[in-house]
Amino acid sequence: MRVRRAVSRTLLVVGGVVTLVCVLLPIACWRDDMAIERNVGQAVAQVDSVAFNRTVVRYATPDGRVIIPSQGVLYPAGLKVGDNVRVEYDQTNPELTRVAGRTAVLSLLPVGTFLVAVWLVIAAVVTVLRRFGTQV
Give the CATH number of the domain where residue 112 resides.
2.40.50.100
Q: How far apart are alpha carbons 28 and 112 in whole angstroms?
A: 15
Mean pLDDT of the chain: 92
- If one compares 134 and 17, the residue with the highest pLDDT of the two is 17
Give the strand order in the sheet containing 66-67: 66-67, 55-60, 40-50, 84-90, 93-99
Residues 38-83: tens digit of each pLDDT: 999 999 999 999 998 899 999 999 999 999 999 999 999 999 999 9
Residue 135's pLDDT is what?
46
- Tally the domains of the chain: 1
The per-residue pLDDT for 33 is 96
pLDDT-derived band at 133 (thresholds 50, 70, 90) equals low
Write out the residue range of the structural domain in which residue 124 sits: 1-132
